[in-house]
Homo-oligomer: A and B are copies of this chain.
Amino acid sequence: MIREMTKSDFEAFWPCFETVIQAQETYAFDPKMSFEEAYELWCIMPMKTFVFEENQQILGSYYIKPNAMGPGNHVCNCGYMVTEAARGKGIAKRLCEHSQDQAMTLGFEAMQFNAVVSSNEVAVQLWQKLGFKIIGTIPRAYRHGKLGHVDSYIMYKALRA
């Protein structure tokens, strides 16, 4: 089930979130970020935040927000996270499909990811399968925890209501 995230959901999700940012392999978030900072970033600043819940467990989450302000606010941005134990089960795919529906409901015309770490092949391939295109490569934009500086991709998909 996908539904909106509450603060207590985020509390349950925080160990996963912390593991993800500390690994420094996928997100350009401060690896030492506090719970409150993370909650602000993931749940307060975005327009909406959802969870994927199964058997009363939070297995994944995503946020949706405008990628720019004013004359750029018809393009949205999303971020997705799935707990380690729940990977490979198609949850990211379901979250991304849900986010595209949400985006259209909210009136967005396109979706943009600003920094998909190029070494995160599972994500890059999934987004491509879901219709996103790499529209730009930022050289050495991400300091990967294991690989050092790697490129980031900008990915984009036009949406139709």
Residues of A within 8 A of B (CB): 21, 24, 27-31, 33, 68-75, 109-110, 112, 114-115, 135-145, 152, 154, 156, 158
Contact = CB atoms under 8 A, between A and B. Distances in A.
A145 to B, nearest CB: 7
A132 to B, nearest CB: 13
Number of copies: 2
A24 B71 contact: yes
Given A135-B138, A136-B154, A158-B139, A28 B110 contact: no
A31 B68 contact: no
Given A139-B156, A158-B139, A27 B70 contact: yes
Contacts of A139: 110, 135, 156, 158
A110 B140 CA distance: 9
A33 B73 CA distance: 14
18 contacts: A28-B69, A28-B73, A30-B70, A31-B71, A68-B114, A68-B115, A71-B142, A72-B115, A75-B138, A110-B139, A110-B140, A110-B141, A112-B141, A114-B114, A135-B136, A135-B137, A136-B137, A154-B154
